[in-house]
Amino acid sequence: MMTDNVNSVRKLSPFLLLIILIAFILSLSALYIAVDSFINQSGALDAYSFLAIGFGGLAFSTYMLLQTRGKPMHAVLVLPKVVTTLECPKCDFKNIRDFKREDYIFKETGPCQKCNETMTITAIYREAKKKK
Ligand SMILES: [Zn+2]
The pLDDT of residue 39 is 82
Question: How many domains is the chain built from?
Answer: 2
Side chain identity, residue 10: R
Which residues are CB-contacts of 79 (< 8 A; sequence separation ≥ 6)?
none
Phi and psi of 124, rounded to 5°?
-130, 120
The pLDDT of residue 62 is 87
Output the CA 71–ligand 1 centroid distance in Å: 44
Output the CA 87–ligand 1 centroid distance in Å: 8
Indicate whether 43 and 91 sit together in one domain. no
Indicate whether 48 and 90 sit together in one domain. no
Position 132 in a domain: no
Output the CA 123–ligand 1 centroid distance in Å: 17
pLDDT at 99 over 90: yes
Domain ranges, residue 121 = 82-126
Indicate whether 55 and 72 sit together in one domain. yes
Indicate whether 45 and 72 sit together in one domain. yes
Which sign, positive or negative, has the C-alpha torsion 47, 52, 53, 57?
positive
pLDDT at 111 over 80: yes
Share of the chain above pLDDT 70, in %: 76
Indicate whether 21 and 34 sit together in one domain. yes
| C-alpha atoms less than 13 angstroms from C-alpha of 51 in its C-beta half-sphere | 9
Indicate whether 72 and 94 sit together in one domain. no
Side chain identity, residue 59: A
Output the CA 81–ligand 1 centroid distance in Å: 26
Strand ranges, E, within the chain: 82-87, 94-98, 108-111, 118-126
- pTM here is 0.40
Indicate whether 114 and 102 sit together in one domain. yes
Indicate whether 19 and 73 sit together in one domain. yes
CATH code for the domain in which residue 97 is found: 3.30.1330.30
Indicate whether 24 and 66 sit together in one domain. yes
Q: What is the pLDDT of residues 42-85, one digit of tens each?
A: 665 678 888 888 899 999 888 888 877 655 555 556 667 899 99
Position 91 in a domain: yes
The pLDDT of residue 33 is 86
Output the CA 119–ligand 1 centroid distance in Å: 7
Indicate whether 41 and 94 sit together in one domain. no
Output the CA 118–ligand 1 centroid distance in Å: 8
Q: With CA atoms as reference, report the closest residue to 80 among 119, 48, 125, 39.
A: 125
Output the CA 111–ligand 1 centroid distance in Å: 8
pLDDT at 25 over 50: yes
- For ligand 1, a single-atom ion, the residues with CB < 5 A are 88, 90-91, 93, 112, 114-115, 117
